[in-house]
Structure 1
């Protein structure tokens, strides 16, 4: 079998505004993603908080943005409004390790183009930023199993209820003992 050339990585459009704001409170991820996006031709600005992200959005009016949903001082959706006020045509991608349908819907309603789970690679992010078609993205190579998605949802609600089993069970409309058995188990494999 002959070696096939690797597909060429997507790059920022030449000749246009390629300013990119990346806001994430995870410094290693933010810096690694910043370097990867610079290699793809973007003019990158980095921020670690909502306050810093809003300041850069208002001051520099970036054409593109990659935002983490949960930040140490608030929610990445707060930055979306500042970006839309500064530049209505900004292309915004939301990254999160805590994805759920409600936050995805809120992000899209606020003006986010795509909602990607962490860890997302730079090629997938670049494709989402530059894709101007309304087509659905290709299915993920290794999606989480239904059992894993259920387990992640239960864990998230449990944390949001301050680890209160009774309150979590009530909100999930689940028997308390059933929830306790689920919480005692390890996460299902993908």
Structure 2
């Protein structure tokens, strides 16, 4: 069984993630701050880590390197509600295997947790968080990719009408 450590300061969201992923074969433990996360990583010895970028007063990015030292073979996914190319580049450079923006659906999470590490090539750097329309566009693209391009399945998963999704897909992505 895969062991998953969820380091997330939002207790309700961490609980939802743990329940969702437990149904898919993960034994889950939760930590709600940086200190507890490092301690549990040593005790629990997870095979996978979901790490929130904003942990109350802490930044999840600073945990990547110590976690990688304790657990060199762990598959680490950084979750953030403040996605930007700059933080994605930084997270991957520091040792995260994947970077996902919230909200994230179960299938996208499972794909990230079951994937082999992929090296990201990002050329531009942006310091600002994505605007909501761009965030929506990128989330739709993630879900569409997880559904292997199936628009109907993507629409169902996103809870929107298929034609509405098709109209959104016809529009060009909003600039960052």
TM-score normalised by structure 1 residue count: 0.62
Distance 1:134 1:104, change over 3 A: closer
Superposition RMSD in Å? 2.4
Q: Partners in 2 of 1:31 and 1:97 — Cα distance? A: 17
Q: Partners in 2 of 1:66 and 1:74 — Cα distance? A: 15
Candidates 53, 59, 77, aligned match of 2:43 = 59
Candidates 37, 53, 59, aligned match of 1:75 = 59
- Count of paired positions: 131
Aligned counterparts, 1:75-154, within 5 A: 75-132=59-116, 134=118, 139-140=141-142, 141=144, 145-147=173-175, 149=176
Q: 2:26 aligns to what?
A: 42
CA contact (8 A) 2:98 2:117 kept: no
Secondary structure of 2:29 counterpart: strand
Post-superposition shift, 1:24? 1.0
Post-superposition shift, 1:83? 1.8
Residues 150-185 of structure 1: per-residue CA shift (max 9 Å, x gap): xxxxxxxxxxxxxxxxxxxxxxxxxxxxxxxxxxxx
Aligned counterparts, 1:176-187, within 5 A: none
Q: Does 1:31 align with 2:15?
A: yes
Post-superposition shift, 1:82? 2.4
Residues 100-135 of structure 1: per-residue CA shift (max 9 Å, x gap): 111111100111111101010122111111112749
Residues 63-120 of structure 1: per-residue CA shift (max 9 Å, x gap): 1000110110301122222221111110000110101111111100111111101010
Q: Which has the larger radius of gyration?
A: 1
Q: Which runs of 5+ in 2 are unaligned?
A: 121-139, 145-167
Post-superposition shift, 1:44? 0.4
CA contact (8 A) 1:21 1:66 kept: yes
CA contact (8 A) 2:7 2:52 kept: yes
TM-score normalised by structure 2 residue count: 0.67
Secondary structure of 2:76 counterpart: strand
